[in-house]
Amino acid sequence: MEQRKTAFIGSMLILSGSILLGLMHLAIALYMPSMTYWETPPGLFEATEKVHPDFFTAFF
What is the domain count for the chain?
1
> How many CA within 13 A on the CB side of residue 51?
10
Q: What is the pLDDT of residue 21?
A: 95
Q: What is the pLDDT of residue 32?
A: 79
* Domain of residue 29, residue span: 2-57
- Mark 4-38 as b/e (b = at least 16 C-beta within 10 Å): eeeeeeeeeeeeeeeeeeeeeeeeeeeeeeeeeee
**What is the rounded CA–CA span in Å between residue 39 and residue 31?**
14
5-45 tens-digit pLDDT? 999 999 999 999 999 999 999 998 888 777 766 655 655 55
In Å, how far are 26, 27, 31, 51 from 19, measured between CA atoms? 10, 12, 18, 36
